[in-house]
Amino acid sequence: NKVSLKVECKYDTHAVLADAMQVNQLLLNLRSNALQAMQNQERPGVIEIRLEEHTQGEAHGDLRPGRYACLTVRDNGSGMDVATRSRIFEPFFTTKPVGAGTGLGLSVVHGIVLAHEASIQVESARGEGSRFRIYFPALETQVADLVVTTLGVTPVHGKGKHILYVDDEESLILLMKRLLVRQGYRFSGYTDARDAVAAVRA
């Protein structure tokens, strides 16, 4: 089925202190999770990513008062019931069939959130999709000039390095290829682990 990606980043959002590679990993895992939640549904899939500033007046759960950069990833997929939602960050917990996933994606997301002293909130219901909001604490110092001068720079993280990616979902391989090639990596994707091993040996 067709899946569209909508991205809206407000560039006046408060700056944060974060590891760019870890935030990339967080986004990759959330997008991968969203794609899987929309497979086999009749309506067109939509993934929305939004970055905006947020000011918290009173403490709410583990979200303390203060300024934040709020990163939201939302999909219109199958959604989750309460029981599933309460366990999604547990390592190796998965609702997928045996062999279709490790159950580590969202636990990795949770670990990255904790490492950045951020907060994550999840809203989801069966048939209504899911929305993940991550609140990164804003820096107190002004770094607007630095942000503006780096926005237009083309990422060159890969610099020709070669990544081999294995997944049983063709759609995820295509997504990873598009994202990693943009970062300057060479990419080889396989749906069969035996083919991947043969490629490495060759």
Closest C-alpha among 54, 77, 56 to residue 129: 77
Would you tell me the crossing angle of helices 170-182 and 20-37 to the nearest 10 degrees?
150
- How long is the chain? 202
Is the pLDDT at 184 greater than 70, yes or no? yes
Is the pLDDT at 149 greater than 60, yes or no? no
Asked if residue 81 lies in contact with residue 38, where contact means CB atoms within 8 angstroms, the answer is no
With a CB cutoff of 8 Å and minimum separation 6, the contacts of 128 are 76, 79
Alpha carbons 48 and 133: distance in angstroms, whole number: 12
Going by the DSSP 8-state scheme, the letter that residue 125 receives in this structure is -
Average pLDDT, the chain: 81
Is the pLDDT at 123 greater than 80, yes or no? yes
Structure confidence at residue 152 (pLDDT) = 45
pLDDT bin (cut points 50, 70, 90) of residue 94 is low
pLDDT bin (cut points 50, 70, 90) of residue 98 is very low
Is the pLDDT at 38 greater than 90, yes or no? no
Strand 119-124 relative to strand 162-166, pairing: unpaired
Least confident of 116-120, 175-179, 181-185: 175-179
pLDDT bin (cut points 50, 70, 90) of residue 3 is confident
Structure confidence at residue 175 (pLDDT) = 73
Where is pLDDT greater, at 31 or 178?
31
pTM above 0.75, yes or no: no
Neighbours of 112 (CB within 10 A): 22
Structure confidence at residue 169 (pLDDT) = 72
